[in-house]
């Protein structure tokens, strides 16, 4: 690039508020605009980096705080492809945080003609506001999605989550091997608790059972409240015989005390179903089997108590 052409080019670059750098085929800086110098001074860089002509571009970026070593490693392949003519442009978003605030930048690399072939024009754009807005939107979306999959009273998964996660669980079990177990739980005589002690006490029972199930089962198991006083647990087991370990852990009678000092018991009717996912059937059928087993357990206990 001739001196007159370079001066005209620099005049144009200096009028642009974004940080701009002209890089040669050896990845060395040909020119920077005024915004680069302002950035370097704001970050209290040595004077040699205010106008780092001839300095390796990626090294200079690291020195003035436009990214770090990782940013340079990610940027270099794309930059070389632009300079070699393999591609016409390249973009990379990178963090550029300050001690007092998060910052994000986007570097756009585009090819321009030069005396000895091609040069690269690297423009560093401040995209902090957009990035923070995207992150906030992502958080809110995740929050809303989590709320849509969570039972608000107990904090357990709801029926919709059981269906969504259950399909994933089923597919994983098919790939990994092993068997799936469904535990279906229904509380005994739950309505009299609401009638005798009020709905607040009924809610306390539900949260107590939810906490008990979370403490009893593994974090990897899916625990859901699927009805007023019905709960379902989906657990992966290495072999069908492991169901005995689950049955041994579960206590089906719990003694609670109201704030007024009244003592009462909460019973749980429990049904189990185990299925090898390599065989015919699906998760819904497995849950129905566990539900049927639970009602048979409830009826058998009723006959014993009568």
* Domain 3-131 falls under CATH 3.40.430.10: no
| pLDDT at 170 (0 to 100) | 82
| pLDDT at 3 (0 to 100) | 62
| pLDDT at 306 (0 to 100) | 36
| pLDDT at 146 (0 to 100) | 75
Residue spans of the chain under pLDDT 50: 305-306
Cα(300)–Cα(15) distance, rounded to whole angstroms?
Answer: 85
For 185-237, write each residue's pLDDT tens digit: 999 989 899 899 999 999 999 999 999 999 999 888 999 999 889 999 998 88
Q: Is 43 left (phi over 0), alpha (psi -120 to 50) or beta?
A: alpha
Residue 229 designated active-site: yes
Question: CATH 3.30.450.20 residue ranges in the chain?
Answer: 3-131
Question: CATH 3.30.70.270 residue ranges in the chain?
Answer: 149-305
| pLDDT at 61 (0 to 100) | 94
- CATH fold of 149-305: Alpha-Beta Plaits (3.30.70)
Looking at 24, 88, 221, 229, which residue is catalytic? 229
């Amino acid at each position: 690039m001739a001196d007159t052409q370079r001066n005209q080019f620099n005049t144009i670059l200096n009028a642009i508020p974004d940080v701009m750098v002209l890089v040669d085929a050896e990845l060395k800086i040909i020119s920077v605009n005024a915004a680069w110098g302002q950035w370097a001074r704001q970050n209290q860089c040595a004077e040699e980096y205010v106008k780092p002509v001839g300095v390796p571009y990626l090294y200079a970026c690291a020195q003035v705080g436009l990214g770090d070593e990782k940013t340079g490693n990610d940027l270099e392949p794309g930059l070389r492809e632009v300079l070699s003519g393999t591609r016409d442009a390249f973009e990379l978003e990178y963090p550029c945080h300050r001690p007092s605030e998060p910052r994000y930048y986007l570097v756009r690399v585009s090819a321009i003609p030069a005396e000895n072939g091609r040069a690269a024009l690297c423009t560093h754009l401040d995209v902090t506001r957009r990035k923070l807005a995207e992150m906030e939107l992502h958080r809110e979306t995740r929050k809303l999605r989590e709320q849509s999959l969570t039972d608000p009273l107990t904090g357990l998964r709801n029926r919709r989550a059981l269906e969504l996660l259950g399909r994933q669980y089923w597919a994983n079990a098919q790939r990994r091997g092993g068997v799936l177990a469904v535990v279906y739980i229904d509380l005994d005589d739950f309505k009299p608790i609401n009638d005798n002690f009020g709905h607040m006490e009924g809610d306390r029972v539900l949260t107590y059972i939810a906490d008990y199930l979370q403490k009893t089962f593994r974090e990897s198991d899916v625990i859901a409240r699927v009805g007023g006083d019905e709960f379902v647990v989906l657990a992966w087991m290495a072999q069908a015989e492991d169901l005995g370990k689950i049955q041994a852990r579960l206590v089906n009678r719990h003694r609670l005390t109201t704030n007024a000092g009244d003592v009462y018991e909460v019973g749980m009717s429990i049904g189990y179903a185990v299925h090898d996912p390599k065989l015919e059937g699906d998760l819904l059928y497995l849950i129905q089997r566990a539900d049927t087993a639970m009602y048979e357990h409830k009826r058998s206990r009723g006959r014993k108590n009568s």
